[in-house]
Amino acid sequence: MRYRIFLAGAAGAIGNRMIPILRDAGHAVVGTTRSAAKAETLRSLGIEPVLVDVFDAERLLRAMESARPDVVIHQLTDLPQKLDPRLMGEAIVGNARIRDERTRNLGADANALRVRRLVAQSLAWAYAPGPEPHAESDPLDAGAQGARGTTVRGVIALEDWVLKSPPLEGIVLRYGQFYGPGSHADKPSNFVPVHVDAAAYAAVLAIERGQPGPYNIAQSNVHVATDKARTELGWSADFRISDKPARE
Ligand SMILES: NC(=O)c1ccc[n+]([C@@H]2O[C@H](COP(=O)([O-])OP(=O)(O)OC[C@H]3O[C@@H](n4cnc5c(N)ncnc54)[C@H](OP(=O)(O)O)[C@@H]3O)[C@@H](O)[C@H]2O)c1
């Protein structure tokens, strides 16, 4: 099945890696960026760029309206590229805001435009303390304090907007810590790592095969269970884009 896809955050760490996989699967993609230069790059990669700041609600709605998507993919985050500790305080607040307010907007617009499915980026390390590995049914850490509290509350808000906005079919991908091209790390972390290509692949599988609900997306590890994604989506943490070249 081929879909019309609105990819919010097309030039980010995961959005960018999704483009060849989506193109190869034959989907028609409209992707957002705020930068004219990145828009040209998106066009050269074979998707239709749209210049929009997601805090401009009217423009976002118009962009989605003209894209007429079947599926919206939300890969928006607002973090500094190098995760510089001096910039992280402010970034954590801005990122929680984008997760809460902008996800609410995307969900409402998607329902208004009768979009069938919304797939959004979440985190695999927001679980409340408890026995590990955490399954998707485990509670999130709603009582966390300080910076973690800000992040987890943003994640809970995002997941609520995605999963509890019927009739939209919502899927959240609880990603581990990224490494690989365009991310802040070359090598896997020793917590819950996931390569950006495998993370992007999970989002494409979620469009095609996912059931509404959350999926942990990380390499095998002792903290977070990943069997649901493997079994239901047929996902593999070993997927790399060079394994599956884009069609001409
Ligand atoms: N799970 C993880 O480990 C994780 C998760 C997320 C990010 N990170 C790390 O954080 C760093 C930055 O990642 P990134 O490049 O993906 O994130 P990013 O640059 O913060 O944002 C991702 C996408 O969100 C878009 N965006 C942000 N604010 C927007 C707004 N107001 N309106 C429209 N679009 C907006 C950006 O669009 P523009 O093209 O307009 O800039 C970009 O395409 C990387 O090192 C990454 O590895 C890690």
Is ligand 1 within 6 A of the CB of residue 122?
Answer: no
Q: What is the 9 CA–ligand 1 centroid distance (Å)?
A: 7
pLDDT over 90, % of the chain: 90
Region 186-199: mean pLDDT is: 97
- Return the ligand 1 atom nearest residue 54 CA: 32
Q: What is the largest CA-CA distance in the chain?
A: 50
Q: Is the peptide bond before 181 cis (omega within 30 degrees of 0)?
A: no
Question: Which of 36, 29, 72 lies closest to 53 in space, CA to CA?
Answer: 36
In angstroms, the CA 45 to CA 66 distance is 20
Q: Which pTM was predicted?
A: 0.95
> Is residue 243 over pLDDT 70?
no
Q: Is the peptide bond before 133 cis (omega within 30 degrees of 0)?
A: yes
Per-residue pLDDT tens over the stretch 154-169: 999 999 999 999 999 9
Is ligand 1 within 6 A of the CB of residue 194?
Answer: no
Per-residue pLDDT tens over the stretch 102-126: 999 999 999 999 999 999 999 999 9
Q: What is the 77 CA–ligand 1 centroid distance (Å)?
A: 4
What single-letter DSSP state applies at residue 222?
S
Which of residues 80 and 179 earns the better pLDDT score?
Answer: 179
Non-local CB neighbours of 190 within 8 Å, separated by 6+ positions: none
